[in-house]
Amino acid sequence: MRKLIARLRGDDGMNTAEYAVGTLAAVAFAGILLKVLTSGNVQSALTAVSDRALK
């Protein structure tokens, strides 16, 4: 009975949940970053920087 109780109290599924939350956060961050980098102001600033660097 003690072994069963010990198994039920373990946190063996927690790693999967933590990976899921981490993956969700990474995808959300990537989406926000994509939105920012494709905005007009940021694109024109990046273009100006790359033009200066290539001259």
Residue 32 lies in a domain: yes
Residue 10 lies in a domain: no
Question: What are the tokens at 25?
Answer: 């956060």
Q: Which domain holds residue 33?
A: 25-55
pLDDT digits 0-9 by tens, 3-24: 777 766 666 666 788 889 999 9
Residue 54 lies in a domain: yes
- pTM summary value: 0.58
Side-chain half-sphere exposure of 9, counting CA atoms within 13 A: 6
Residue 17 lies in a domain: no
Residue 20 lies in a domain: no
Of the listed ranges 3-7, 25-29, 50-54, the least confidently predicted one is 3-7
Residue 35 lies in a domain: yes
Residue 46 lies in a domain: yes
- Whether the per-residue pLDDT at 40 is higher than 70: the answer is yes
Number of structural domains (the chain) is 1
Helix axes 14-37, 40-54, angle to 10 degrees: 70
> Would you give the DSSP letter of residue 11?
-
Residue 14 lies in a domain: no
